[in-house]
Amino acid sequence: MTNSKSRASVVSSSAKQQENLSYTRQILDARNTPDKDYLHSFYKLGRFLWARKLYSHLEGKRQNTLEQAVSFLIETLPRARVSIETRQPEDSIFKGVDVEKTVEEMREEGVSFGLDLPKDMADRLYNYAKTTPCTEPGYFLENKNPEEFFIDEVENGRLRGGRRVFRALVRGVNEKTGESLGNLTEPLLKDPILLSIMSKYLGYYPNRVTLHLTWSIALGTGLSEETIRKKYPPSNWHFDVAGINFATYYTYLTPVKNEEDGPHVMIPRTHVKKPMKMLWGSAKKSEELIKQHFNKNEHLNIMGPMGFGFVQDPSCLHRVKPPVHSHRLLCQLRFS
């Protein structure tokens, strides 16, 4: 991915259309933002609730000031040529979603459900992931290029050459078909309901989006928990520090019916309440430390059919439970 910030278009042709500004922002070039940007030491403040709230307040104020300036220019310079596209809530792919209730649940629990993908869109993303080369994050060949493979080349957790694989990140472009992940997910990136949820939760319109389509590889039953945690980092309990302030939309593109299908596991309310010592050092936390502070009945295993979607504040404690028999496919959009 190239280093390119997502841009938000403020769109309108008249003062009247300013009423729809909350649905006219568009997140562009989402797939071009590298996660390494988040390693900047400034972003490490995102682990602290006070820092996220402060950033939310300041960024909201900055955007409101900019919006007022744009509105003034549009009203006083009617001949100015401004690109326009207004999207209303009824244009959303999510039907019957209560934005305010969703945001309230995120604030209280750290998660909210009910944002399922339409079947045709879930099918297209699944087919794209099946026919597009993948790479395993962090693994490179001797020439320092990532090793590409198709998901169907992985059997019993191994590639045909015998190398074990733990996860597979789907490429952003299928060079054979010309399809791109960005185009396939464009309805999500521009969805007025999803953008409204994220804007209200963050306290400002998202400036940046990262997009991932990832296979979690079925590992069978032969590996120890210690080996899995060492080789597959997301299987460890952790919280994300993905910028100063952030929230994520997830959707399962394979059914997750039980604990062997690779559920996303979280501890609700830990986005706002963690033991103080957990905020320092690595964001990855040991199983022993989690057991000291949380009962197992506090763990939430998130399960659902293909297309099942939810929004989460990933500063909560969470992990993936690796699938056993079938690979799990997850689409993730992180707004910040």
Beta bridge partners of 211: 333
What crossing angle do the helices spanning 192-202 and 99-109 adopt, rounded to 10°? 40
How large is the average pLDDT for residues 290-317?
A: 94
Query: Is pLDDT of 11 > 80?
Result: no
CA 319 to CA 321: how far, in whole Å? Answer: 6
Residues 271 and 247 sit within 8 Å (Cβ to Cβ): no
pLDDT of amino acid 273? 86
User: Cα separation of 209 and 199, whole Å?
Assistant: 12
Q: Do 78 and 71 contact (CB within 8 A), yes or no? A: no
Confidence band, pLDDT 50/70/90 cuts, at residue 268: very high
What is the rounded distance in angstroms from the CA atom of residue 174 to the CA atom of residue 187?
19
pLDDT of residue 35: 41
Confidence of residue 56 (pLDDT cuts 50, 70, 90): low
Question: What Cα–Cα distance (Å) separates residue 112 from each residue in 100, 106, 309?
Answer: 11, 6, 9
184-202 average pLDDT score: 92
117/91: higher pLDDT: 117
321: buried, middle or exposed (CB in 10 Å: 19+, 13-18, 0-12)?
buried
pLDDT of amino acid 82: 35
Q: How high is the pLDDT of residue 9?
A: 32
Band (pLDDT 50/70/90 cuts) for residue 61 is: low
Q: Is the pLDDT of residue 108 over 90?
A: yes
Element holding 143 (H helix, E strand): none
Which residue type does 132 have? T
Mean pLDDT taken over the chain: 79
Sheet of strand 209-216, all strands in order from the earlier edge strand to the far edge: 111-113, 309-312, 247-252, 328-335, 209-216, 167-170, 134-135
pLDDT at 97: 94
pTM of the model: 0.77
Other Cβ atoms within 10 Å of 161 Cβ, number: 8
Which architecture characterizes domain 99-132+190-212+232-335 according to CATH? Sandwich (2.60)
